[in-house]
Amino acid sequence: MIPRVHRRRLFLLTLLLGACWTGLAVRLVQVQLGGNKAYASRLERQSKLRLELPARRGNILDRKGHILALDLEGFSYYTFAPAEDPDRTARLFSKVGDFPYSVLLSKLRSKGFVWLARGLGEKEAMAVRRWGLPGVREY
């Protein structure tokens, strides 16, 4: 038989552990059923951060460190022929692009994909955007 003092201590310890486990169970039910949306929104606010890191393409070097290729920004323009206004499009792009007016005009009157200009600089690209030609897309 267990002495009375030990029985009392064992009862108090069991009661204390039971109260702890009951408190944990109540809190678990409360979090799972009642407060999960609040915790999810709090987690989302704390963990999500949108940070844009601009990155430039690097140069390609040989083993001695000499530049073999570098990244130059260029703008290219294309359309799908037949164009809506082939005369105006050919006239404008013949001034900034590599193709003469007659070649562009014949391509714009045919069917299919047509490069209008490739590798234009920033000034020429701004001019092309101002023209607002229908069907002309930038690449």
- The answer to whether residue 136 scores a pLDDT higher than 80 is yes
Average pLDDT score over residue span 104-129: 87
Q: What band does 112 get if pLDDT is binned at 50, 70 and 90?
A: confident
Query: What is the per-residue pLDDT for 66?
Result: 92
Whether 54 maps to a domain, the answer reads no
What are the C-alpha distances in Å from 114 to residues 72, 86, 94? 23, 12, 13
Contacts for 116 with CB less than 8 Å, ≥ 6 apart: 77, 78, 79, 89, 93, 97, 99, 104, 136
Is 0.85 topped by the overall pTM?
no
For strand 75-81 and strand 137-138, is the pairing parallel, antiparallel, or unpaired? antiparallel
Contacts for 73 with CB less than 8 Å, ≥ 6 apart: 122
Whether 106 maps to a domain, the answer reads yes
Tell me the backbone φ, ψ of residue 60, rounded to 5 degrees: -100, 125
Q: What is the pLDDT of residues 55-81, one digit of tens each?
A: 888 889 999 999 998 877 889 989 887
C-alpha closest to that of 131 among 94, 104, 78, 93 = 93
Whether 53 maps to a domain, the answer reads no
C-alpha closest to that of 119 among 134, 92, 138 = 138
- For residue 99, the enclosing domain spans 75-138
Whether 31 maps to a domain, the answer reads yes
Query: What is the per-residue pLDDT for 11?
Result: 93
- Whether residue 79 sits in one domain with residue 118: yes
**Percent residues over pLDDT 90 in the chain:** 17
Number of domains in the chain: 2
Between CA 73 and CA 33 the distance in angstroms is 55
